Chain A
């Protein structure tokens, strides 16, 4: 095949892999926002924390698979703790207060990470089976990125099933649209919140582990990828999973082709895209809920 065409295709696949990871983070953020009306600024910090957990687990046990399973679970546990200990008791401060609270938690997490693991970037090696390249239709492609895309798709399918095919999912969707009413119907909304928060941070954690071998683990990771995820949520529309999905993929492609063609100004592309979308649709592409 023509090398330029194959370059385009492989760049496109890179973009989709990154977009998938963005979607894993953004969808958790989005569901939490839909239910509680707060944007969890600590979400990106949890995402990064999972990368460090995985690094530590791999360092101790030598198995990436254990890290892939347990690092997100640990992160989710911390997320649930944060929701129980801090967020639930801060409602007196209002939405801004809660937003700023999550910001405070994020900066504590980042500071602790710097204290424990230092500031240099730590490499994370994937097992042999995921290394190397495969040939797909004449284009050689790193196995690990395919694995990331597959993983994200599996999680997505699982989430969709959970949200749209179970009773629990029904309750969660109902709580997104009117939490007081669900509470009045005798459903323990606090428990649902805790569960959703846990699942959201678990997905962020999974994304953190998935991206760690690609970008290595370093304290700026939360800023770099987290910012993109926030932009995805804002552009796609608060509370809209479909919007988050489409915008994630678009952003992934923008960033990978952007690096190719206008390398220095790749981050600018996303913000410009966001500005254009918001200029015409202030609530985001698919935003229905008024962002409070």
Chain B
């Protein structure tokens, strides 16, 4: 009971802080929070596959990019379209791609799954570069109109953009969290741990994977669509490139695979590191590679795993102490 109350209070405090960030901290930090929120949802959508279903994708950026391109194209070519339908079109584009791919990819798992996505991701990247009449090639689609929530364009009202992004992403995060608690979400974990047994129990493994895959694509698409709106630019390198596929993997690894909030923590750490790297050196690749190696070698369960072990140690120590006091 106590715990629940404290939890509710903490959530309320968080919401209040989030609500006042644009007023308190100014545009620079507001933008940082927007980026953080977008990448959190993106990493969470990857973790739906990696942490909960045991499928590692090296091409998750294609859904992210599909969302971005869908929204940008919609805003550019359809006159008078609102911002929500545009985001919806982006999400639909991601879902469409997932539906096309899912019959193929749900049949493989492990390394083949990862490499297939690497290949498809590259394919989409190359296509986006080559079909410049639609996608703008290397320049991407930039400077498209962004309608506002009410009357003003979101370009000139960053606060509205902030609230829009935070609310949509908050809802997405809650949905994903809720999803892991449903019986269906539990089957997903079962598939990760022992697909054969789940199959014997009468659940349909490929179909379940396909549903999870599509949902994951949906959330990645929403994140990508908001990313496009935020930067007012969607480009092959910015949204579809291989770096965009690896970024959420790195943050998920840093934060901790399998725990729901691990990726969010990971994104926060990743962003902090990124900020520092850009201040001191230009070789992001090098530092990220070293961090990856370090995390895999010494923190295989990520920072969340480290926290959990420390907690356990602390608990056992304190109970140990209490027992010793009792004995004496």
Partner of B130, one of A106, A264, A284, A291: A264
CB<8 Å pairs between A and B, sample of 26: A33-B111, A39-B111, A92-B300, A95-B111, A96-B257, A97-B253, A100-B296, A101-B293, A103-B292, A105-B293, A107-B292, A108-B285, A108-B289, A111-B285, A114-B285, A227-B122, A230-B118, A230-B119, A267-B122, A268-B127, A271-B120, A274-B119, A275-B104, A278-B112, A291-B109, A291-B110
Decide if B286 touches A115 in the complex (CB within 8 Å). yes
Q: How far is the CA of A99 from the CA of B297 in the complex (A)?
A: 12
Q: Is A292 an interface residue (CB 8 A)?
A: yes
How long is the Cα–Cα vector from A107 to B249 in the complex, in angstroms? 14
Given contacts A100-B253, A279-B104, is CB(A107)–CB(B289) below 8 Å?
yes
Q: Are A271 and B119 in contact (CB under 8 A)?
A: yes
Shortest Cβ distance from residue B109 to the other chain A in the assembled complex, whole angstroms:
8
Contact of B110 with A223 in the complex, beta carbons under 8 Å: no
**Cα separation A283 to B257 with both chains bound (whole Å):** 26
Contacts of A238 in B (CB 8 A): 111-112
The yes or no answer to B56 lying at the interface (CB within 8 A) is yes
Whether A86 and B293, one on each chain, are in contact in the complex, defined by CB atoms closer than 8 angstroms, is: yes
Check A110 against B50 for contact (C-beta < 8 Å): no
Contacts of B246 in A (CB 8 A): 103
Q: How far is the CB of B83 from chain A (nearest CB, A)?
A: 34
A217 interface residue (CB < 8 Å to B): no
**In contact, A107 and B111 (Cβ under 8 angstroms):** no
Find residues 76-124 in chain B having any chain A CB closer than 8 Å to their own CB: 103-104, 107-112, 114-116, 118-120, 122-123
Distance in Å: Cβ of B241 to nearest Cβ of chain A: 11
- Is there an interface contact between B297 and A89, defined as CB atoms closer than 8 Å? yes
Check if B324 is an interface residue, CB within 8 A of chain A.
Answer: no
Pair A115/B283 contact, Cβ less than 8 Å: yes
Known: A111-B286, A265-B130, A267-B126. Contact between A99 and B120, CB under 8 A? no
B-side contacts of A283, CB under 8 Å: 108, 112
Asked whether A97 and B111 contact (CB < 8 A) given A107-B285, A107-B292, A111-B283, the answer is no
How many B residues, CB 8 Å from partner? 38
Q: Interface majority SS on B: helix, strand, loop or mixed?
A: helix
CB distance from A233 to the nearest CB of B (A): 8
A234 adjacent to chain B (CB < 8 Å): yes
A143 within 8 A of B: no
CA distance A105 to B297 in the complex (A): 12
Q: Is the CB of A97 within 8 A of B300?
A: yes
Query: In the complex, are the beta carbons of A234 and B112 less than 8 A apart?
Result: yes
Residue pair A104, B110 in contact (C-beta under 8 Å): no
Of the candidates A92, A99, A107, A233, the one having the most CB atoms from chain B within 10 angstroms of its own CB is A107
Closest chain B residue, CB of each to CB of A263:
B130
Instruction: Collect the chain B residues with CB atoms within 8 Å of residue A110's CB.
Output: 285
